[in-house]
Structure 1
Amino acid sequence: MSVTVAALTSTAMGSFLSRSRRRKLTMTLRSDTVSVTPTEILTKLKRDCATPLPLLQQVANAMSADMRAGLGPGPGPGPGLPMIPTYVDNLPTGNEKGLFYALDLGGTNFRVLRVQLGGKDERVIATEFDQVSIPQHLMFGASEELFDFIASGLAKFASNEDGRFHVSPGRKREIGFTFSFPVKQTSIDSGILVKWTKGFAVSGTVGRDVVACLNEAMERQGLDMRVSALVNDAVGTLAGAEYWDNDVMVAVILGTGTNACYVEQMSAIPKLTEHVSSSGKMIISTEWGAFSNGLPLTEFDREMDAASINPGEQIFEKTIAGMYLGEIVRRVLIKMAEEDALFGKSVPPNLSTPFILGTPVICAMQQDYSGDLHRVGSLLYDKAGVESKLSERKTVLEVCDTIVKRGGSLAGAGIVGILQKMEEDSKGVILGRRSVVAIDGGLYENYPQYRAYLLDSVKELLGTEKSNDVVIEHTKDGSGIGAALLAASNSIYNQDF
């Protein structure tokens, strides 16, 4: 679920004056009827995207209410958020010892990791990881072909253990499987695939237990290994962060997509009355991307949603996640270009291409602090064929900032909503002590303005005193080691402590 919002470099940083002389004749002429000025469009955009404190508080309250409703009893999807039980009720303690593996599948690459744990005194003795690209044809092939490819990569990685890694005699190697696609979890080590996303359309997997698919493929490869824990990337991040800091209560993924999970009391999960947890707790995956109550939406959000592959779904994700921020900006700019010639008398044709301005591009533009905004102009030209004057580049940055401020502020309100829900049930334990929120994902890591707006939102909502107890920590690539740690804490073997 992560997107790399890295600083971008232009391959063509030439003079904009020379470019203007080479204006393409293929540009689409705009309508002669001009009804709205960029200033009016921008003013309306800022008004529609505004996140004053009362609105943020309403969003946080609605998040808490939807979480509570989603935990309620009753078969099938009900009101509120999905609130998926993960069956992770034993978090790592630090006592874990031995060799454990992790497999992280959540996109066009999969990562494999091994970690040697040494208990309280030595903790993580050694780690190694590798990343493997999945061929395009396997993303549309048969289930066995994909899982055989993954198991083959895992077997190759496992065969290269050096002297720092050793498995105890008589034990199978155990693995934590991070699988970041929609799954109906049925136990700590099993889950049924609901649907493929992120460009995958593999036949024969939907409706099946993905752990069984992997186990069967490992058997075909002659790999003596078993899955001890099935988790998503948010759960892995929480486990990895909590291993080093026992005050971690919440984990959030803010990358291409988004999700959040947290530690819930079993007594507050009515839909799991028959499940017995040795710890009295369980990690709940909120699937908060599906949240939609009270969000400040614009005509551009509604158009983007209508054109998406899942109209009417994942509205919170579509306002705060990296996949969508740049596209919303592009839709605003195309309206400005069409209705009042923001970029001259014709509309740059490339600007009409969906997702041509990705979030990494608008992030890079917002890091341009030069007087003439040269980099902004270069990126607009290189990515969308847009020639621009300084005043136009300033307008573009205002649009970017408006969309990013709304996204970061709403993400902060979502975090406060989770903390509020936990506080209500714990009677003052959460916000009256140090509570850590672990965040992973390239959007949060690499977009300074987004990160600042999120932190400001949390502080504004909680107030200075309470916000001093809430620590927002960046946990980079935590889901991989978190999955290995969960394999250890849910091992079928008795730990020799």
Structure 2
Amino acid sequence: MLSLEVLQQVSARLERDLRRGLGRHSHHRAAVQMLPTFVTATPDGTEKGDFLALDLGGTNFRVLRVRVLEEEQRMVKMDSQICAIPQDMMEGPGEKLFDHIAACLGEFLKSQNLQGKILPLGFTFSFPCHQKEIDKVSHTHSNDPVSVFCLTFCLCVCGEQSILIRWTKGFQCSGVEGHDVVQLLREAIQRQGDYDVGSIAMVNDTVGTMMSCGYRDQSCEIGMIIGTGTNACYMEEMKNVKRVDCTQGRMCINTEWGGFGDNGSLADIQTEFDVQVDKTSINPGVHTFEKMISGMYLGEIVRLILVKMTKDGLLFKGQASEALLSPGGFETKYISHIEEELSGLENGNKILSNLGLAWEPVDVRVVRMVCDTVSSRSARLCAAALATLVNRMRVARGLERLKTTVGVDGSVYRKHPNFSAELQATVRQLAPKCDVSYLLSEDGSGKGAAMVTAVALRLARESRLLDDSDGEDSDDEEQ
């Protein structure tokens, strides 16, 4: 249970790590990686076009067709298809995973009668990636906002050199870390052989969420995911992004805040249960913050607490079941079910019975208290991180008061009955000079990838028109 003072300390530590991640010489050793996305603008409502979108970030993979209609000021998801990713594929050769993605895309195109069309593709890949061409291109386009817009188009839409830094969220495919994910996708599509796609925009899910919500609310400059994993992006002042040679405008930064604490900065608030979760994970010592607050780990934290309380004779008359003693036996969704205001205790009765536990009414109430404590800590820690971003944006822009919107997605935020309210209340306490609104994403990961592509095309179109107005009239403006 973390006091407001402790949360303020956590926020101050994260602020230091944000600055370190943005630094030219310090970002290589920063726990919070602060990856430049080269997305330099959010939607203005004039975007239009027909796009494909792929969304890979968990055990399911989605293919969508997205049509952006300028005249109706809205996006329409024409259709989508979901493909499961088996566990052995999540841990097997990377080539097999990308062949599966390409096959799903091919089936979708066939079902939509799109095999003969070549559409731009937005690829939401919800894992930390590095843009290898940053230094090379940024030196070429220093300080020129039009060139920065062109840079957005070149990097985001062409998707060149998106290097996977490391897998997270249970993926361990070989032959992908350190490689260009866009190239691996293109090669798989070529092996498929019966269709092709146009330009590919590589998009992190937080950026997709921000861009999708930004089309509905143009004050949206933050994207946040609290689901299987957690991450956030925000629009940073270019003058503060020391690793890129441009000082004008803003750029979306993918914080990768799940790595907060990997340098030991959260050791004083980690519990024995957090330490155990980390030790038994597939990536010990990595993504410390994520393991304290995201859906992949919350159920396991609760399970470990219940096991200890049972062994200490405080629950179930000291008798644990085989299911309770099994890693992963207490699923994160149980936390939401047990904390439901009206049906929580009844849900708890059923869940504990299904786990083979001989419970009494007091046991159900204690389990509910444990769930509430763990989910409350998650919400308050996430709020401390979000407050750090909004406070930073306000100070960097020299504002007395900041008004902004956060686009949010993720099963924990959406489905837990109390999470969103506690997060929002804590942000108000930690960022009193910021008026923060929250907008739930509608298929943000998929539609957002299409929106990044659409915005990049709009900026390229605007820069071309600007070039034409400075030079000779062009007869092929619409080409």
Q: Pick the TM interval, shorter chain.
A: 0.7 to 0.9
Q: Structure 1 CA distance, aligned partners of 2:421 and 2:80?
A: 32
Alignment partners' CA distance in 1, 2:343 and 2:90: 43
Equivalent runs, 1:227-242 vs 2, <5 Å: 227-242=199-214
> What displacement does 1:409 show?
0.9
Over 3 Å counting, the alpha-carbon distance change for 1:100 and 1:340 in structure 2 is same
Partner of 2:399: 428
Gaps of 5+ in 1: 1-49
Inter-partner Cα distance in structure 1 for 2:322 and 2:69: 59
TM-score for the superposition, normalised by structure 1: 0.81
Q: Residue deviations 1:124-145, cap 9 Å, x none?
A: 3552211112345543444333
Look up the equivalent residue of 2:367 and give its one-letter code. V
Which of 331-340 and 138-147 deviates more? 138-147
Structure 1 contact 106–179 (Cα < 8 Å) conserved: yes
**Distance of aligned partners of 1:309 and 1:145 in 2 relative to their CA distance in 1, 3 Å threshold:** closer
Answering whether residue 229 of structure 2 is matched by residue 283 of structure 1, we say no
Report the aligned-residue RMSD: 2.6
Query: Does the residue aligned with 2:46 lie in a helix, a strand or coil?
Result: coil
- Residues 125 and 479 of structure 1, relative CA distance in 2, 3 Å threshold: closer
2:319 is aligned with 1:334: no
SS of residue paired to 1:68: helix
The CA deviation at 1:237 is 0.4
Alignment of structure 1 residues 17-36 onto 2, 5 Å: none
Q: 1:413 touches 1:461 (CA, 8 Å); kept in 2?
A: yes
CA shift for structure 1 position 299:
1.9
The equivalent residue for 1:390 is: 361
Write out aligned runs for 1:75-474 (5 A).
Answer: 77-124=28-75, 127-161=78-112, 172-186=118-132, 187-188=155-156, 189-190=159-160, 191-220=162-191, 221-273=193-245, 280-292=249-261, 293-294=265-266, 296-367=269-340, 369=342, 373-382=345-354, 384-428=355-399, 432-463=401-432, 466=433, 469-474=435-440
Q: SS at 2:408's partner residue?
A: strand
Q: What is the Cα deviation at residue 442 of structure 1?
A: 0.7
State the identity as a percent.
39
Q: Which residue of 1 aligns with 2:450?
A: 484
Matching residue of 1:37:
none
Q: 1:335 to 1:265 in 2, by over 3 A?
A: same
Distance 1:287 1:92, change over 3 A: same
8 Å Cα contact 2:50/2:67 also seen in 1: yes
Largest Rg, 1 or 2: 1
Bigger relative contact order (CA 8 A; separation at least 6)? 1
> Aligned in 2, Cα 1:75/1:302: closer, same or farther, shift over 3 Å?
closer
Letter of the aligned partner of 1:459 in structure 2?
A: R
Q: TM-score, normalised by structure 2?
A: 0.83
Query: Within 1, Cα distance between the matches of 2:26 and 2:383?
Result: 31
Distance 1:194 1:80, change over 3 A: closer
Q: Which amino acid aligns with 2:364?
A: R
Matched residue SS, 2:390: helix
Q: Which residue of 1 aligns with 2:150?
A: none
Give the C-alpha shift of residue 284 in structure 1: 0.5
Q: 1:367 to 1:413 in 2, by over 3 A?
A: same
| Aligned-partner Cα distance in 2 for 1:153–1:146 | 11
* 2:45–2:73 contact (8 Å) kept in structure 1: no
User: What is the CA-CA distance between 1:70 and the residue it aligns to?
Assistant: 0.9
SS in 2 for 1:81: coil
Cα deviation per residue 1:198-234 (whole Å; 9 max; x = unaligned)? 3433333232211011112223323231343101111
Call closer, same or farther: CA 1:304–1:138 in 2, change over 3 Å.
closer
Amino acid at match of 2:37: T
- CA change 1:394–1:123 in 2 (3 A) is closer
Moved more, 329-338 or 219-228: 219-228
Gaps of 5+ in 2: 133-154, 463-477
Separation of aligned partners in 1, 2:362 and 2:92: 50
> Using the alignment, how far apart are the partners of 1:155 and 1:305 within structure 2?
38
Q: Which amino acid aligns with 1:485?
A: M
Q: Shift in Å at residue 378 of structure 1? A: 1.9
CA shift at 1:90, angstroms? 3.7
CA gap 1:267/1:107 in 2 versus in 1, 3 angstroms: same
Cα distance between partner residues in 2 of 1:140 and 1:448: 33
